[in-house]
Structure 1
Amino acid sequence: MRKKIAKFSILPLAAGSIFFSFSTKKAANLDLEDYSTYDLELDYTVPDVREEIEPEFQLSTTSPFLGKSYVGFKEALAFKESRGDYKSINEFGYLGKYQFGKGTLELVGVYDTVGFLNSPALQEAAFYANASRNKWILQRDIKRFVGKNINGVIVTESGILAAAHLAGPGSVKKYLRSWGAQAFSDAFGTTIKTYMKRFGGYDTSFVTTTKNARVDFDNLNEA
């Protein structure tokens, strides 16, 4: 049986560079130091565009510009829900940047889901109205439980509002008043505890406590 030993030639590549290849027998005795580029000035033809590329997961942590403000809160929550995509519709039919269900939208006065998906301003207004409504429903629980430790998580107002966005204010009431015994998880397995921890510590004082809050269509302006 004959051994097959590959033979190679010298091939030119980019300008100023040569690709050397040898038989397997010669390669065993090859001194790679002779072909090192150490201490050479290399002229790259591909520009460095790293500063022009936005990190894909830059909103997964608190933005240094948005910080712990209300805007920081809603943008962090939006990134978790849809990566901030106003046109997003998931497999369960939840809509938009904040993944609203149709029933929740109707509670804040939005009945046109097509118009909702095509209006960033309406989605932002719906998020605020829903947060304001949830804050009214949960105002006693906010006073009672903020600062308490439940299942290893310090309860904050923003954590409560985020959990209410996930599970509804009724589920959050049950969770808090049972001291975490009555848990909730959505179709993806996300829990109230997860949202309490992930979105805790934001300043949501900007959100008013409003019974039956609705979107104000008269003052709705598209950016």
Structure 2
Amino acid sequence: MRKKIAKFSILPLAAGSIFFSFSTKDAAKINLENYSTANLDLDYTVEDLKAEIEPDFHISHAAPFLGKSYVGFKEAVAFKESQGNYKNINEYGYLGKYQFGKGTLKLLGIYDTVEFLESPALQEAAFYANASRNKWILQRDIKRFDGKTINGVKVTESGILAAAHLAGPGSVKKYLRSWGAQAFSDAFGTSIRNYMKRFQGYDVSYIKAEKNARVDFDRL
């Protein structure tokens, strides 16, 4: 006797899970034990769909479903710095998810590096405080250069703040005011231009400029 298999569709969800939508109520009651692939010669070849999917879902980004928000910005920076690892210490002694140097941490009021590595909340607060401080220092340059093109890269506020996280606000000022002539690269060869390009176009209006931004431990 021929068994009739009802049609169904498979719908991808944003979170990466699969949702089965059966065309009939009876189809949902199918007893899968009655069907078997035993003794069949199965040879499946799945086409690489990355080129088709990537333009729509931006799967090359660190946080593909966070968009261009502040959270998307900080998670993208974190992925570049440490692949998002709160306990990472690189060969040059930079610490945590966002790879802070000890000198920068002291400016933010953080002196215990062991506590820093053990506290995700402290690291997130440090990232915001540092970005807030850098935004205050660079506010005139953000206003002047936002939308301009330097060394073939469009300058944006988020690109400037990311570059300041990499190189410090002073180096970013020199880069911008020299129209890219005074460049900077870190020990791994990563440049200000690279960060300007990689992190351009995020909405970082959530970050408020503050002159002496420090971590508020009472709010952790």
Relative to the length of structure 1, the TM-score reads 0.73
Superposed displacement of residue 43, structure 1: 7.4
Separation in 2 of the partners of 1:86 and 1:153?
31
Deviations 1:38-86 (A, max 9, x none): xx72479xxxxxxxxxxxxx97515342000000000000000000000
Counterpart check, 1:41 vs 2:40: yes
Relative to the length of structure 2, the TM-score reads 0.74
Is the 1:62–1:68 contact (alpha carbons within 8 Å) kept by the matching residues of 2? no
Q: 2:108 corresponds to which residue? A: 108
C-alpha distance 80-124 of structure 1, shift in aligned 2 (>3 A): same
Separation in 2 of the partners of 1:68 and 1:194?
18
Q: 1:200 corresponds to which residue? A: 200
Separation in 2 of the partners of 1:198 and 1:176?
16
Separation in 1 of the partners of 2:141 and 2:88?
32
Q: 1:218 corresponds to which residue? A: 218
Structure 2 residues not aligned, in runs of 5+: 1-38, 44-57
Q: 2:26 corresponds to which residue? A: none
Please list, as runs of the form range in 1=range in 2, the aligned pairs for 1:108-187 lying within 5 A after superposition: 108-187=108-187
Structure 1 residues not aligned, in runs of 5+: 1-39, 45-57
Is the 1:82–1:98 contact (alpha carbons within 8 Å) kept by the matching residues of 2? yes
Is the 2:109–2:215 contact (alpha carbons within 8 Å) kept by the matching residues of 1? yes
Is the 1:73–1:202 contact (alpha carbons within 8 Å) kept by the matching residues of 2? yes
Separation in 1 of the partners of 2:150 and 2:111?
37
Tell me the secondary structure at the aligned position of residue 106 of structure 2: helix
Separation in 2 of the partners of 1:59 and 1:104?
32
Deviations 1:152-184 (A, max 9, x none): 000000000000000000000000000000000
Superposed displacement of residue 97, structure 1: 0.2
Separation in 1 of the partners of 2:117 and 2:174?
32
Percent of aligned pairs with the same amino acid: 80
Separation in 2 of the partners of 1:119 and 1:94?
16
Counterpart check, 1:190 vs 2:190: yes
Counterpart check, 1:97 vs 2:97: yes
Is the 2:85–2:96 contact (alpha carbons within 8 Å) kept by the matching residues of 1? yes
Number of residue pairs matched by the alignment: 168
Separation in 1 of the partners of 2:83 and 2:62?
14
Looking at CA atoms only, which structure, 1 or 2, has the larger radius of gyration? 1
C-alpha distance 125-60 of structure 1, shift in aligned 2 (>3 A): farther
Separation in 2 of the partners of 1:60 and 1:140?
32
Separation in 1 of the partners of 2:64 and 2:83?
18
Is the 2:63–2:75 contact (alpha carbons within 8 Å) kept by the matching residues of 1? no
Query: What amino acid sits opposite 1:173 in the alignment?
Result: K
Is the 2:62–2:75 contact (alpha carbons within 8 Å) kept by the matching residues of 1? no
